[in-house]
Amino acid sequence: MRDIDFLIIGSGIAGLSAAIKLAKSGRVTILTKKTATDTATIYAQGGVACVVSDNDTFDLHELDTIRAGDGLSHEDVVNHVVTSGPERIHELQKFGIEFSTYMGDPNHLDLGREGGHSRRRVLHIQDITGQGLEKTLYDRAISEPNITILEYHIAVDLIRESKIDGKDINDPGHERILGAYVLDVKNNIIITFLSPVVILATGGAGKVYLYTSNPDIASGDGIALAYRAGARVANLEFVQFHPTCLYHPLAKNFLISEALRGEGAMLLDKRGNRFMEKYSQMKEMANRDIVSRAIDMELKKSGDDCVFLDITHKSPDFVITRFPQIHQTCLKFGIDITKELIPVVPAAHYMCGGVVTNIWGETDIKGLFALGETACTGLHGANRLPSNSLLEGVVFPHQTFLRLSDKEYLADILKNFDKVSQKVRVWDKGIAVDLQEAVIVSHNWDIIRRLMWNYVGIVRSNKRLELALQRIKPILEEIDSHYWEYILTSDFTELRNLALVAKLIIQSALLRKESRGCHFNQDYPAKDDWNWRRDTVLSKFN
Candidates 132-140, 251-259, 400-408, 419-427; binding stretch for ligand SIN (CB under 6 A)? 251-259
399 binds ligand SIN (CB under 6 A): no
Tell me, what DSSP letter sits at residue 460? B
Q: What is the 3-state secondary structure (H, E, C) of 149-170?
A: EECCEEEEEEEEHHHHCCCCCC
389 binds ligand SIN (CB under 6 A): yes
Nearer to ligand SIN, 154 or 371 (CB): 371
Question: Among 223, 259, 365, 395, which residue sits at the site for ligand SIN (rule: CB under 6 A)?
Answer: 259
Tell me, what DSSP letter sits at residue 292? H
* Nearest CA among 508, 405, 426 for reference residue 465: 508
Least CB distance from residue 296 to ligand SIN, whole Å? 17
322: phi then psi, degrees, rounded to nearest 5: -80, -35
Nearer to ligand SIN, 329 or 444 (CB): 329
Q: How many whole angstroms separate alpha carbon 360 and alpha carbon 367?
A: 12
Nearer to ligand SIN, 42 or 156 (CB): 42
Q: How many whole angstroms separate alpha carbon 462 and alpha carbon 527?
A: 16
Candidates 13-21, 252-260, 265-273, 323-331; binding stretch for ligand SIN (CB under 6 A)? 252-260
Nearer to ligand SIN, 10 or 386 (CB): 386
Nearer to ligand SIN, 187 or 328 (CB): 328
508 binds ligand SIN (CB under 6 A): no
Tell me how many residues contact ligand SIN (CB under 6 A): 10
Question: Among 10, 46, 132, 457, which residue sits at the site for ligand SIN (rule: CB under 6 A)?
Answer: 46
Q: Judge whether 234 and 380 are in contact, CB under 8 Å.
A: no
Parallel, antiparallel, or unpaired for β 28-31 and 354-356? unpaired
Those residues whose C-beta lies under 8 Å from the C-beta of residue 146, and which sit 6 or more positions away, are 23, 24, 26, 27, 28
Least CB distance from residue 542 to ligand SIN, whole Å? 31
Least CB distance from residue 346 to ligand SIN, whole Å? 12
Candidates 27-35, 84-92, 167-175, 255-263; binding stretch for ligand SIN (CB under 6 A)? 255-263
> Does the active-site annotation cover 450?
no
Q: Where are the beta strands (DSSP E) in 25-86?
A: 28-31, 48-49
Question: Among 5, 221, 258, 362, which residue sits at the site for ligand SIN (rule: CB under 6 A)?
Answer: 258
What 524-531 contacts at long range (C-beta under 8 Å, 24+ apart), as own/partner pairs, is: 527/70, 527/71, 529/71
Question: In 3-state terms, what secondary structure has residue 239?
Answer: strand
Show contacts with ligand SIN in window 26-45 (CB under 6 A): 45
Question: Among 126, 212, 214, 387, which residue sits at the site for ligand SIN (rule: CB under 6 A)?
Answer: 387
Those residues whose C-beta lies under 8 Å from the C-beta of residue 114, and which sit 6 or more positions away, are 46, 49, 122, 258, 259, 261, 262, 285, 386, 387
Least CB distance from residue 382 to ligand SIN, whole Å? 16
Least CB distance from residue 72 to ligand SIN, whole Å? 18
Candidates 153-161, 385-393, 404-412, 467-475; binding stretch for ligand SIN (CB under 6 A)? 385-393
Candidates 250-258, 276-284, 417-425, 460-468; binding stretch for ligand SIN (CB under 6 A)? 250-258
Candidates 180-188, 303-311, 381-389, 496-504; binding stretch for ligand SIN (CB under 6 A)? 381-389
Nearer to ligand SIN, 46 or 343 (CB): 46
Q: How many whole angstroms separate alpha carbon 509 and alpha carbon 519?
A: 7
Show contacts with ligand SIN in window 327-366 (CB under 6 A): 350
**From 88, 176, 232, 288, the catalytic residue:** 288
Q: How many whole angstroms separate alpha carbon 327 and alpha carbon 333?
A: 10
Question: Among 386, 393, 457, 517, which residue sits at the site for ligand SIN (rule: CB under 6 A)?
Answer: 386
* Nearest CA among 320, 339, 342 for reference residue 251: 342
Show contacts with ligand SIN in window 464-503 (CB under 6 A): none
Question: Among 202, 212, 253, 257, which residue sits at the site for ligand SIN (rule: CB under 6 A)?
Answer: 257
447 class by beta-carbon count within 10 Å (0-12 exposed, 13-18 middle, 19+ buried):
middle
Torsion of CA 29, 34, 35, 36, to 10 degrees: -40
68 class by beta-carbon count within 10 Å (0-12 exposed, 13-18 middle, 19+ buried):
buried
Question: In 3-state terms, what secondary structure has residue 333?
Answer: coil
Catalytic residue numbers read 288
Contacts with ligand SIN by CB under 6 A lie at 45-46, 255, 257-259, 350, 386-387, 389
